[in-house]
Amino acid sequence: MITRLTPQDAAFYRLESSSNPIHIGSLAIVRDTDDEPPLNYDRLVDLVESRLALVPRYRRKVREIPLGLGRPVWVEDSRFDITYHIRRSALPSPGTDGQLHELVARLASRPLDQSRPLWEMYLIEGLSDGRSAVFTKTHSALVDGDSALEIGHVILDTSPSPRELADDAWVAPREPNEMELLVGALGHLAAQPREAIDVVRGAGADAFAMVAAAGRAVDSVVSAVRAATASAPDSPLNAKTSRSRRFDVVRTDLEDYRTIRKRFDCSINDAILAVVTGALRNWLLSRDEALTEQTTLRAVVPMSVYVEDLEGEQAKPAGEVSSFLLDLPVGESNPVIRLSHIKHATEANSKQRRGVRARTLVHLAGFAPASLHAMSVRAASTFAEHMFNLVITNAPGPQAPMYIGGARMLEMYPVSPLLRNQASSIGITSYDGHVFYGLNADRDAMADIDVLAASVHESMEEMLGACA
């Protein structure tokens, strides 16, 4: 089967560089249960192989059109080898969390092999306390959050016993040759004259500009504030990125955000952003940055997707996801005033922004947030790079225990990519009563990422103190 990449898919595919791999990562910490056999490499391979029919793009690779006459296409990989994509690593037992984070940083630094389907999965063994980890990375071009989902959606189960699916009778097909691709592209352009003109005009276009063009060409994430031309404030968060990364995590309790929500009549999302703002403030102060009451950092907040019931029992994804620019008041010393600024800004944006449908995500059993994080990165890339300082992705996960191959998932951390000249990204996911932060950063520009991680806890204590 041959399908043409959408304009936005193609833009993301071409956006990647050696110092900016554009893949979405997800780190799940798991522990075996007594009810099922241990999660080992063979069991993980069997599980993923049995679910690939639910994510058919994971068997397809990208092929360029000869002479650049049209967008690339997805084709079935005739030499697909699942053991190439699912890999095994081990820490020196008992492996520490710090060693795990260093390994994830190294894995996240490596671009995917563009001659094969654009994903990898690692079973990481040897963690302390009988734990292991599953790290997945998927190219942003592969996941659109609707027709093409991230593989984390399909390997998760709601019980220790993996659900049974019908046998997949997939057989590797013959790949088209260069002439067949060229003839197909010419036929497509003949039927789409406007696209043919765009192909001619777009020859040699800058990849980042292509993303913005793609965002206009499709029904993508759009915000009313996109018309703004003001540049983001100067910040150490904006720097040329290297090829290496650092990664750190923060684990917090969802109940604390519910306390803030109840006390100040805001949303869970507002409470999370207020904690992030306080953490960024503390981090800037640790660097001796000069802050005034008017100092802000501008974040792309691609989503505000929490639909909360009044009892606070469950946070669910909304029917639409959306994006906007938000000035975080890092210069404000009072945490209550910081939250008030954020609350009013998100309320104002909620009345103006347009959303992208996410029906597939909302109604999918065993909902996993990785696809929403992938859509977040797409949303952020529709803004010019000078307009924001960092990207904060926030996606709800299931609030009941989930399992991978019989092993219970204890924690789940997003690993969002760094866009051009962005030294750090913050991915946030709620799951099973907790809110998990994944902090991905450039190794050179953000050597103190651990300070930012510690600052999240300090900011939370400050907010809870204000509640009292």
Phi and psi (nearest 5°) for 330? -70, -15
Q: What's the pLDDT tens digit per position in 155-183?
A: 999 999 988 887 777 777 888 877 777 77
Give the side-chain half-sphere CA count within 13 A for 217. Answer: 15
Task: Provide mean pLDDT across the span 357-386.
Answer: 62
7 versus 72: the higher-pLDDT residue is 72
Percent of the chain with pLDDT over 70: 80
- R_g of the chain, CA atoms, integer Å: 22
Percent of the chain with pLDDT over 90: 51
Q: Are 279 and 455 in contact (CB under 8 A)?
A: yes
Task: Provide mean pLDDT across the span 371-384.
Answer: 71
Separation CA 342–CA 83 (nearest Å): 46
Which pLDDT does position 313 carry in this prediction? 42
Q: What's the pLDDT tens digit per position in 41-52?
A: 999 999 999 999
Q: Which two tokens stand for residue 201?
A: 């005009």
The pLDDT-based confidence of 194 (bands split at 50, 70, 90) is low
Biggest distance spanned by C-alpha atoms of the chain: 70
Is 99 a residue whose pLDDT tops 80? yes
Separation CA 340–CA 271 (nearest Å): 10
Task: Provide mean pLDDT across the span 127-148.
Answer: 87
21 versus 125: the higher-pLDDT residue is 125
Q: Which two tokens stand for residue 458?
A: 């300090």
Q: What's the pLDDT tens digit per position in 442-466?
A: 999 999 999 999 999 999 999 999 9
Instruction: Kindly list the distances between the CA atom of residue 69 and the CA atoms of 1, 181, 187, in Å, as whole numbers in the listed order.
Output: 20, 10, 11
Separation CA 426–CA 368 (nearest Å): 18
Is 366 a residue whose pLDDT tops 70? no
Task: Provide mean pLDDT across the span 266-295.
Answer: 95
Separation CA 453–CA 462 (nearest Å): 15
DSSP states along 84-151: HHEEEEEEEEEEPHHHHHHHHHHHHHSPP-TTS-SEEEEEEEEEGGGEEEEEEEEETTT--SSSS--T
Which pLDDT does position 109 carry in this prediction? 94
DSSP states along 414-465: EEPPPPTT--EEEEEEEETTEEEEEEEEETTTTTTHHHHHHHHHHHHHHHHH
| Element holding 4 (H helix, E strand) | strand 3-4
DSSP SS3 for 353: coil
The pLDDT-based confidence of 406 (bands split at 50, 70, 90) is very high
Q: Are 88 and 121 in contact (CB under 8 A)?
A: no
| Element holding 13 (H helix, E strand) | helix 7-15
Q: What's the pLDDT tens digit per position in 337-363?
A: 999 999 999 888 766 554 444 444 444
Is 316 a residue whose pLDDT tops 60? no
Q: Which two tokens stand for residue 53?
A: 């029919």
Which pLDDT does position 311 carry in this prediction? 36
Separation CA 30–CA 17 (nearest Å): 32
Phi and psi (nearest 5°) for 43? -65, -40
Q: Which residue is listed with tokens 């009549």?
A: 265
Which pLDDT does position 221 carry in this prediction? 36
The pLDDT-based confidence of 200 (bands split at 50, 70, 90) is low
Q: What's the pLDDT tens digit per position in 236-264?
A: 999 999 999 999 999 999 999 999 999 99
Q: Which two tokens stand for residue 230?
A: 């003001």
Which pLDDT does position 89 carry in this prediction? 95
Which pLDDT does position 302 carry in this prediction? 66
Mean pLDDT of the chain: 82
Separation CA 441–CA 447 (nearest Å): 8
Which pLDDT does position 303 carry in this prediction? 54
